[in-house]
Structure 1
């Protein structure tokens, strides 16, 4: 077999194959409605402030399973703190209601589009496919289950199950071993320059493909992707060039 032929594709999940940001925005709106009705005298701006604080806590979240709290308990705590920091009258019951509305609404909104399903089916006829996603194992497994995507892949690797996640080369070497391929046999496809593209570059993959749906410029000092696409649906054009 030609040594230059691509044998495997590593895909990120969030905002690459599924629109996590859009689902999260929908979930925040549903939670906004709960807060507005429960805190009846609070105006929209105050409720928005509570939601923004939750999003910031989520963004900077550091989860340690050894601390004895589940990820659900930690995130209920994010809502409770966000409410307490903004208004009087927070209760654990309201925080839990907000969290589970946010969580369940987001999961229900996540989906693989029919077009992406067909793309993955076509690709799997020619390549080994692996899903490589960072994040808390419980949270990411819930997403995988919600969208029903596991059947499209030869393997699913969740970074939170291991000591190092993307962009560390060790998690990529694990993927190569699972697929029984070399780094140069693979391409990495993802939306994050700092984890997907930097990780793929550091691991020595054949090419990195940045999914840039917002049209952002590559920041100064960032790793430069080999290719940039507005949507993963355009991937076959790049594969035709590489093959």
Structure 2
């Protein structure tokens, strides 16, 4: 099946199917329509890679993981980080598919990280349980507890995210968060990064029981924000969850694409690599 992009090429939004080149002034122009912008959080505004790396390094030092032995080899921080990234990618994919919930992720995360480390050291695809017995369950639980506490309190935002939010707020746009992250951790991230005051509503997968791209979470977000697909824009870094999910409801979309990934079907209204580009669109 081939998806066609129904949006023309001009660089500024308008109510006439994006055909105008003038800025949309959401509260005073374009028929007095108020534009609502829904942002993803992790990897879009909040710098998950940097914040998680800083957290993992503090855990690596505090729990002296360099002294742990797997298959007669010590654990380097680089290996620890790679195992975390591989495990996180796997668990979030399972979460998006509805196969694991928040509790299960937190129960499994560091167990799977050390299993991944063993596979890396042992050069095997299968994990040998006997080789894993040196890692006590209480260590895994402490690592998880410490990670949950520390990581959401890291303050790093992606480059120019703060300036972009300040610009949009000055233009009168209504800003909201729509995230598959967990309620308590996402609010901590917003608070400790200093951007919580920018947002009118914070919608998480916890509060709906559904994850993007399920239309239920998008419809819930539109309802509580008193918005419609026609006056709403979704901005995020996940092509499947954010762009295709919002597009299925008829929302306009901006694909935040700093790594310049090429999606299989180009249906995003706009594709940007840096937040500085937002002023050319909105």
Q: Normalised by the shorter chain, which TM-score bucket? A: 0.7 to 0.9
Shift of 1:60: 2.7
Change (3 A) 1:53 1:32: same
> 2:12 matched to which residue of 1?
none
Are 1:19 and 2:47 an aligned pair?
A: yes
* Alpha-carbon displacement from aligned partner over 1:192-217 (angstroms, at most 9, x marks no partner): 10111011101111x21111111222
Secondary structure of the structure 1 residue equivalent to 2:248: helix
| Bigger radius of gyration among the two | 2
Shift of 1:237: 1.1
Shift of 1:64: 3.4
Q: Which runs of 4+ in 1 moved over 6 A?
A: none
* Alpha-carbon displacement from aligned partner over 1:112-152 (angstroms, at most 9, x marks no partner): 46943343233224111111111233433332333243211
Conserved? CA contact 1:4–1:185, under 8 Å: no
What CA distance in whole angstroms lies between the structure 1 residues aligned with 2:195 and 2:173? 16
Alignment of 1:58-69 (within 5 A): 58-61=88-91, 62=95, 63-64=100-101, 69=103
Change (3 A) 1:71 1:145: farther
Report the TM-score when normalising by structure 1: 0.78
Shift of 1:99: 3.2
What CA distance in whole angstroms lies between the structure 1 residues aligned with 2:152 and 2:217? 26
> 1:43 matched to which residue of 2?
74
Secondary structure of the structure 1 residue equivalent to 2:259: coil
Q: Which has the higher helix share?
A: 1
> 1:204 matched to which residue of 2?
250
* Alpha-carbon displacement from aligned partner over 1:152-206 (angstroms, at most 9, x marks no partner): 111111123213221122211222222212111011111110111011101111x
Change (3 A) 1:142 1:37: farther
> 1:195 matched to which residue of 2?
241
Shift of 1:71: 5.4
Alignment of 1:97-136 (within 5 A): 97-100=142-145, 102-104=147-149, 106-112=151-157, 115-125=160-170, 126-136=172-182
Shift of 1:105: 5.1
Change (3 A) 1:70 1:137: farther
Change (3 A) 1:99 1:42: farther
Change (3 A) 1:52 1:124: same
The number of residues matched between the two structures is 232
Pick from 155, 171, 192 the counterpart of residue 217 of structure 2: 171
Report the TM-score when normalising by structure 2: 0.68
> 1:224 matched to which residue of 2?
267
In structure 2, list runs of 5 or more residues that go unmatched.
1-28, 119-126
RMSD (CA atoms): 3.1
Pick from 189, 193, 203 the counterpart of residue 157 of structure 1: 203
